[in-house]
Amino acid sequence: MALPAGTKDRGWAVKCTSRTRRKLIDRTMKAAAGVAVLIGIGVLAWVLSVVFVRGASALSWSFFTKLPAPPGAPGGGLGNAMLGTLLISAGATLLGVPAGIMAGVYLAEYGAGTRFGGFVNFMVNVMMGIPSIIAGLFIYALLVVSVGHFSGYAGAMALAFLMMPVVARTTADMMALVPDQLRESALALGAPRWRVIVQIVFRAARAGLLTGVLLAVARVSGETAPLLFTALNSPYWPRSLAGPTANLTVTIFNDAMSPYANWQRAAWGASLVITLGVLTISLLTRFILRRRA
Amino acid sequence: MSTIRASVHGAPASAGPMPKAAHTGAISVRHLNFYYGSHQVLFDNTLEIPGRSVTAIIGPSGCGKSTHIRVYNRIYEMYRGQRCTGEIFLDGENILGSSVDLIELRRRIGMIFQAPAPFPMSVFDNVAYGLRLHYQLPRSELVDRVEDALKGAALWDEVEAKLHHPGTALSGGQQQRLCIARALAVEPEVLLMDEPTSAVDPVGTAKIEELVQRLKERLTVVIVTHNMQQAARISDRTAFFFEGRIVETGETTALFTNPSKKQTEAYITGRFG
Amino acid sequence: MPFGRSKRASMGLPLSKTGVRRGDALFHGAAVAAAALVPVLMAGLFVELAYGSRLSLEKFGFGFLVSAAWNPVTGNYGAASSIYGSLVSTAMALIIAIPLSLFIALFLVELAPPRLARPVSGAIELLAAIPSIIYGMWGLFVLAPFLADHVEPALQAAFGHIPVIRALFAGPPMGIGMLPAGLILALMVLPFTTALMRDVLQLVPPVLKEAAAGMGSTTWEVFRKVMIPYGRRGLIGAGFLGLSRAIGETMAVTFVIGNSHSISASLLASGNTIASTLANEFTEASDPLYLSALIELGLVLLVMTFLFQVAGHLWLSRLGRKTGGGQ
- Minimum mean pLDDT range among A6-15, A278-287, B222-231: A6-15
Per-residue model confidence (pLDDT) at position A177? 94
| Three-state DSSP state, B240 | strand
Taking the CB of residue C91, how many other CB atoms lie within 10 A of it? 15
Q: Which of C20, C186, C182 is nearest to A36 (CA)?
A: C186
Record: contact B218-C4, CB cut-off 8 A = no
Mean pLDDT of C126-141: 95
User: Which residues in chain B touch residue A114, judged by CB atoms under 8 angstroms apart?
Assistant: 80
Record: contact B141-C8, CB cut-off 8 A = yes
Q: Please enumerate in sequence order all residues whose Cβ is within 8 A of that of B199, keeping only pairs 6 or more positions apart, or say none.
A: B114, B115, B116, B172, B176
Within-domain flag for C229: yes
Mean pLDDT of C59-88: 92
Per-residue model confidence (pLDDT) at position C167? 85
Same domain, A71 and A52: no
Same domain, A99 and A150: yes
- Number of independent structural domains in chain A: 2
Whether chain C has a CB inside 8 Å of the CB on B2: the answer is: yes
How far is the alpha carbon of B125 from chain C, nearest alpha carbon, in Å? 17
Taking the CB of residue C113, how many other CB atoms lie within 10 A of it? 7
Q: Is residue A216 pLDDT above 90, yes or no?
A: yes
Query: In whole angstroms, how far apart are CA C317 and each of A121, B249, C309, C312, C314?
Result: 11, 49, 12, 9, 5
Q: Which of C4, C14, C15 sits opposite B151 (nearest CB)?
A: C4
C-alpha B83/C-alpha B196 separation (Å) is 25
* Banded model confidence at residue C319, pLDDT cuts 50, 70, 90: low
Within-domain flag for A1: no
Within-domain flag for A120: yes
Per-residue model confidence (pLDDT) at position B51? 92
Within-domain flag for A184: yes
User: Which residues in chain A touch residue B78, judged by CB atoms under 8 angstroms apart?
Assistant: 183-184, 187, 193
C-alpha C20/C-alpha C16 separation (Å) is 7
Task: For residue C179, give its domain range.
Answer: 81-287+303-321
Q: Which of A28, A53, A102, A145 to mutate to test the interface with C (most CBs of C within 10 A)?
A: A102
Query: In whole angstroms, how far apart are CA C324 and each of C227, C264, C315?
Result: 12, 42, 12
Per-residue model confidence (pLDDT) at position C321? 57
C-alpha C32/C-alpha A140 separation (Å) is 27
The sheet carrying B220-224 orders its strands as B109-112, B190-194, B220-224, B54-58, B237-242, B245-251
Record: contact C37-A164, CB cut-off 8 A = yes
Same domain, A193 and A259: yes
Query: In whole angstroms, how far apart are CA C255 and each of A44, A259, C274, C275?
Result: 19, 14, 14, 11
Q: Is residue C3 pLDDT above 90, yes or no?
A: no
Within-domain flag for C30: no
pLDDT digits (tens, 9 = 90+) for B17-73: 444 445 788 999 999 999 999 999 999 999 999 999 999 999 998 899 999 999 999
pLDDT digits (tens, 9 = 90+) for B94-149: 999 888 888 899 999 999 999 999 999 999 999 999 999 988 889 999 999 999 99
Within-domain flag for C39: no
Q: Which of B106, B119, B179 sits opposite A200 (nearest CB)?
A: B119
* Banded model confidence at residue C14, pLDDT cuts 50, 70, 90: low
Record: contact B75-A187, CB cut-off 8 A = yes
How far is the alpha carbon of A102 from chain B, nearest alpha carbon, in Å? 19
Same domain, A270 and A190: yes
Rg of chain B (C-alpha set): 19
Q: Which of B3, B69, B7 is nearest to B34 (CA)?
A: B69
Q: Is residue C74 pLDDT above 80, yes or no?
A: yes
Within-domain flag for A2: no
Per-residue model confidence (pLDDT) at position A141? 92
Domain boundary among A18, A41, A56: A56
C-alpha A217/C-alpha A215 separation (Å) is 5
C-alpha C154/C-alpha C147 separation (Å) is 9
C-alpha C176/C-alpha C124 separation (Å) is 26
The complex's ipTM works out to 0.91
Query: In whole angstroms, how far apart are CA A140 and each of A90, A154, A225, C37, C274?
Result: 20, 7, 12, 18, 17
Mean pLDDT, chain A, integer? 91
Contact predicate C306/A126, CB 8 Å: yes
**Residue of higher predicted confidence among A210 and C317:** A210
Q: Does pTM surpass 0.95?
A: no
Give the up-direction half-sphere exposure of residue C155: CA atoms within 13 A in the CB hemisphere: 21
Please report, for the domain that includes residue C165, its CATH number: 1.10.3720.10
CA A82, A84, A90 angle in degrees (round to 5)? 105
Same domain, A144 and A40: no
Record: contact A203-B120, CB cut-off 8 A = yes
Mean pLDDT of A19-31: 91
CB < 8 Å & 24+ apart, contacts of A23-28: A23/C218, A25/C218, A25/C220, A26/C218, A26/C219, A26/C220, A26/C221
Record: contact C4-B135, CB cut-off 8 A = no
Within-domain flag for A237: yes
User: Which residues in chain B touch residue C1, judged by CB atoms under 8 angstroms apart?
Assistant: 148, 151
How far is the alpha carbon of A4 from chain C, nearest alpha carbon, in Å? 25
Percent of chain C with pLDDT over 70: 91
Q: Please enumerate in sequence order all residues whose Cβ is within 8 A of that of A196, keeping only pairs 6 or more positions apart, or say none.
A: A183, A186, A187
C-alpha B189/C-alpha C161 separation (Å) is 93
Q: Is residue A17 pLDDT above 90, yes or no?
A: no
Whether chain C has a CB inside 8 Å of the CB on B1: the answer is: yes
Within-domain flag for A34: yes
Q: In chain A, what is the greatest distance between 2 CA atoms, to the nearest angstrom?
A: 95
Q: Is residue B202 pLDDT above 60, yes or no?
A: yes
Whether chain B has a CB inside 8 Å of the CB on A195: the answer is: yes
Within-domain flag for C221: yes
Per-residue model confidence (pLDDT) at position C318? 77
Record: contact C2-B217, CB cut-off 8 A = yes
Same domain, A132 and A255: yes
User: Which residues in chain A touch residue B110, judged by CB atoms under 8 angstroms apart?
Assistant: 188-189
C-alpha C286/C-alpha C306 separation (Å) is 29
- Chain C residues whose C-beta is within 8 A of a chain B C-beta are 1-6, 8-15, 17, 20
- Number of independent structural domains in chain C: 1
Please report, for the domain that includes residue A253, its CATH number: 1.10.3720.10
Give CA C89 to chain center in angstroms: 12
Mean pLDDT of C274-289: 92
Record: contact B134-C15, CB cut-off 8 A = yes
Q: Is residue C303 pLDDT above 60, yes or no?
A: yes
User: Which residues in chain C touch residue A193, judged by CB atoms under 8 angstroms apart?
Assistant: 24, 27-28
Q: Is residue C210 pLDDT above 50, yes or no?
A: yes
Same domain, A142 and A264: yes
Same domain, A26 and A68: no
Give the up-direction half-sphere exposure of residue B7: CA atoms within 13 A in the CB hemisphere: 12
Whether chain A has a CB inside 8 Å of the CB on C301: the answer is: yes
Per-residue model confidence (pLDDT) at position C87? 95
Per-residue model confidence (pLDDT) at position A175? 96
Based on the number of CB atoms within 10 Å of its own CB, is C2 exposed (0-12), middle (13-18) or buried (19 or more)? Answer: exposed
Within-domain flag for A95: yes
What DSSP letter does each residue of C137-205 carry, written as one string?
HHIIIIIHHHIIIIIHHHHHHHHTTSTTHHHHT-S---S-SHHHHHHHHHHHHHHHHHHHHHHHHHTS-
Same domain, A70 and A52: no
- Chain B residues whose C-beta is within 8 A of a chain A C-beta are 73, 75, 78, 80, 102-107, 109-111, 113-115, 117, 119-121, 129-130, 133-134, 179, 182-183, 186, 192
Query: In whole angstroms, how far apart are CA A142 and each of C160, C250, C303?
Result: 50, 21, 18
Per-residue model confidence (pLDDT) at position B6? 37
Same domain, A100 and A234: yes
Record: contact C137-A133, CB cut-off 8 A = no
Same domain, A73 and A51: no
Q: Which of C1, C12, C14 sits opposite B151 (nearest CB)?
A: C1
Per-residue model confidence (pLDDT) at position A3? 47
Within-domain flag for C36: no
User: Which residues in chain B touch residue A191, judged by CB atoms under 8 angstroms apart?
Assistant: 103, 129-130, 133
Chains that touch A (3 or more CB pairs under 8 A): B, C
Per-residue model confidence (pLDDT) at position C286? 83
Whether chain B has a CB inside 8 Å of the CB on A110: the answer is: no
Contact predicate B27/B229, CB 8 Å: no
Nearest CA in chain A to B112: A185
pLDDT digits (tens, 9 = 90+) for C30-54: 999 999 999 999 999 999 999 999 9
Within-domain flag for A3: no
* Banded model confidence at residue C323, pLDDT cuts 50, 70, 90: very low
C-alpha A257/C-alpha A270 separation (Å) is 14
Per-residue model confidence (pLDDT) at position C189? 96
Q: Which of A224, A254, A288 to mutate to test the interface with C (most CBs of C within 10 A)?
A: A224
Give the up-direction half-sphere exposure of residue C69: CA atoms within 13 A in the CB hemisphere: 13
Mean pLDDT of A7-35: 77
pLDDT digits (tens, 9 = 90+) for C224-263: 999 999 999 999 999 998 999 999 999 999 999 999 898 9
How far is the alpha carbon of C295 from chain A, nearest alpha carbon, in Å? 7
Same domain, A118 and A143: yes
Per-residue model confidence (pLDDT) at position C194? 96
pLDDT digits (tens, 9 = 90+) for C119-130: 999 999 999 999
Q: Which of C5, C6, C10 sits opposite B6 (nearest CB)?
A: C10
pLDDT digits (tens, 9 = 90+) for A40-94: 999 999 999 999 999 999 999 999 999 998 888 888 899 999 999 999 999 999 9
b (16+ CB within 10 A) / e for C17-38? eeebeebbeebbebbbebbebb
Task: For residue A33, give its domain range.
Answer: 8-56
Per-residue model confidence (pLDDT) at position B2? 39
Q: Which domains does chain B have, with CATH numbers?
A: 27-268 (3.40.50.300)
Q: Please enumerate in sequence order all residues whose Cβ is within 8 A of that of B222, keeping only pairs 6 or more positions apart, or say none.
A: B27, B49, B55, B57, B69, B72, B190, B191, B192, B193
Whether chain C has a CB inside 8 Å of the CB on B136: the answer is: yes
Mean pLDDT of C51-74: 92
